[in-house]
Structure 1
């Protein structure tokens, strides 16, 4: 059922699974994935950077679970930005592969800059979207309106990202998780999902334009993909101009792959990751959507067993579930 603990765990730990599967091929082309890894079929160690072992995850999961802890411990949205900022700063000593956008923002937070002013405004990256799954779970479970969700979610994403495209994609990922969590696999309709998702992103872009930050690149990409949701993964990647770090690339690609075959959890996640590019991030975003739709119990047993710190992540996501289902 929608908003069950299993679905909330699915959205949060699905992020970690997709991150860990994509981790060894982060930034690698599809051709090199095929040549040097023969395709990703299971958790693998990073044989190129040699910094992470099979089943370990990167900053995508670290940042998502910082958000999980902050949301679970806070009384409501008003306290989220400060709580999230504190969690991010506390993570600095054990950061994993943080990109320059995130690093710069968290350095500013550590120097005492207020959460509303610390976020990076120059780079339209995927960093806000990659960690938005807990916000989508909150949205679904509380029944918040879109206006209420925007007021709550934007300040949290803006702690690290203030570029309008990054914020639009981050809000879009929260909306996508909310929509995935609200339906059953049997009743999921790709066209309806895509139209609703586009409406949410367009709304976010209009709200940002009211503040003088006009940018429609994310909704433009969704419109471009609308009639191509049954394409092969490599063709879908090309329609996104790659599956790289920009908010109008990997995030729309992950959503399109979800809409393409939502009922095939394992096949959909692996076929997406093996395209390469920013594989840990689009894997994380797609994993959260599949988890929101199917629930954590639906993931293969070997992914449960091989995931780093699984029991801790389950406990933290369970605490979030308790907090938002009681709200």
Structure 2
């Protein structure tokens, strides 16, 4: 085998591993945090010991490894992007990502309204019975999708509020946006697409810029950047857009806090609680930056008073994109709900994007 062919095969294998790692890592962080979402740090420590969570624990119904709406919506993002890539490859028609992702979110909304798959549904995520579960979905996601808004994919990001929930910047935008960075090698393109698709539910500029920033970070990570390097490059990209200041300030605070070393839940809480987009992004980035072990970073990202499943999901997306699925703790992964479906969907997205 010549050197070029060997190098190409190796880079393809690394890309596939990072796509799988990003989606599985996000689900793992989500499952870790879902069991303690809405619990204060004091309550977490009282229930699980002075170190807080140290492993996956049962949720309120006694089930270990359940994922929340964060993973559900992330998977439907993947389904929409996979469909768009296939359409572009087979028909030579690009530019449909926004509409197809919005349609995919409509299918997710159906899973929140029905007890199970409709008669005759035998393929796609709508056929997965385990996804028909309400796991504390965000109000803006539910109300926003009821409006059926599809942003113009060619529109400039002006920093103005969007027409849907214009005052909302909840973390429901950012927790579902990592796949844009997996599907598009251009971080700039991934940023814009994630931001526009975020506007289907949340109109506040910080909400959609945080979504774009995570997509850009993931795009840089899949190309081999470090977490710090990817974050710095995403900050430069953010700086080109009006109204970026709140998102940029949160990321800079995460970088500064990580530089102090000595991570702790108390330092996590200096970044906020994660209920809003820029705080959730900052906590996920901080946890991924400040610790060397993947397990420690994931645990740090969920042991705080706030939206632990969303911050855990974002941290897991980042770590998985950086290290691939081989760098994730497999004993924990084995307990995550839907892991086989998630891995298969990741492989489908990677294969389609490689063909495209």
- TM category (shorter chain) comes to 0.7 to 0.9
- Residue 197 of structure 1: which of 215, 218, 234 is its match? 234
How many Å apart are 1:238 and its aligned residue? 3.5
Q: Structure 1 residues 189 and 56 mapped into 2: Cα distance closer, same or farther (>3 Å)?
A: closer
Q: 1:114 to 1:57 in 2, by over 3 A?
A: same
- 1:180: how far off? 2.2
| Partners of 1:176 and 1:58 in 2: CA distance | 23
| Residues 194 and 259, structure 1, Cα contact 8 Å, conserved in 2 | no
Residue 29 of structure 1, CA deviation: 1.1
2:119 aligned residue: none
**Worse-matched range after superposition: 93-102 or 22-31:** 93-102
1:201 CA displacement: 2.5
C-alpha distance in 2 between matches for 1:94 and 1:82: 19
1:280 corresponds, among 303, 306, 309, to: 309
Question: Pairwise mapping of residues 127-276 of structure 1 onto structure 2 (< 5 A)?
Answer: 127-139=172-184, 142=185, 144=186, 146=188, 148-183=189-224, 188=226, 190=228, 192-203=229-240, 206=241, 209=242, 214=243, 216-229=245-258, 230-240=261-271, 242-261=272-291, 263-276=292-305
Q: Alpha-carbon deviation of 1:243?
A: 2.2
Label 1:225 to 1:317 Cα distance change in 2 as closer, same or farther (>3 A). closer
User: Who is 2:83 aligned against?
Assistant: 73
1:120 alignment partner, SS class: coil
Tell me the SS of whatever aligns to 1:8. helix
Whether the 8 Å contact between 1:105 and 1:118 is mirrored in structure 2 is no
Q: Secondary structure at the match of 2:277?
A: coil
* Pairwise CA RMSD: 2.2
After superposition, the C-alpha distances for 1:286-316 in whole angstroms (9 at most, x for unaligned) are 0000000111122222222111111111111
2:208 match: secondary structure: helix
1:225-279 C-alpha deviation (Å, 9 max, x unpaired): 4332125233432331x22311221211111111112x41111111221124110
Indicate the SS of the match to 1:4: helix
Find the aligned partners of 1:149 and 1:91 in 2 and give their Cα distance: 21
| CA–CA separation in structure 1 for the residues paired with 2:216 and 2:150 | 26
Q: What stretches of structure 1 of length at least 5 have no aligned partner?
A: none
Number of matched pairs:
303
Q: Please give the alpha-carbon distance, in whole angstroms, between the structure 1 residues aligned to 2:244 and 2:268.
A: 22
The residue number in structure 1 matching 2:40 is: 29
Q: CA deviation at 1:151?
A: 4.0
**Cα distance 1:311–1:118, how it changes in 2: closer, same or farther (>3 A)?**
farther
Tell me the distance in 1 between the aligned counterparts of 2:37 and 2:187.
36
Which residue matches 1:60? 70
Aligned to 1:326: 355
Q: Which runs of 5+ in 2 are unaligned?
A: 1-9, 89-93, 113-133, 153-161
Q: Which of 33, 44, 48 is residue 57 of structure 2 equivalent to? A: 44
Aligned equivalents of 2:346 and 2:268: distance in 1?
Answer: 31
Distance verdict in 2 for CA 1:86–1:170, change over 3 Å: same
1:114-149: per-residue Cα shift (whole Å, max 9, x none)?
Answer: 45677432111111111111111123xx3x262x33
| In structure 2, distance between residues paired with 1:233 and 1:68 | 33
Task: Indicate yes or no: 2:339 matched with 1:310.
Answer: yes
TM-score, with structure 2 as normaliser: 0.78
Deviation at 1:189, TM superposition (A): 6.7
TM-score (norm 1): 0.85
Bigger Rg, structure 1 or 2: 2
Distance 2:200 2:181 in 1: 17
Q: Which has the higher helix share?
A: 1
- What residue number does 2:141 align with? 102
Larger relative contact order (C-alpha < 8 A, sep ≥ 6)? Answer: 1
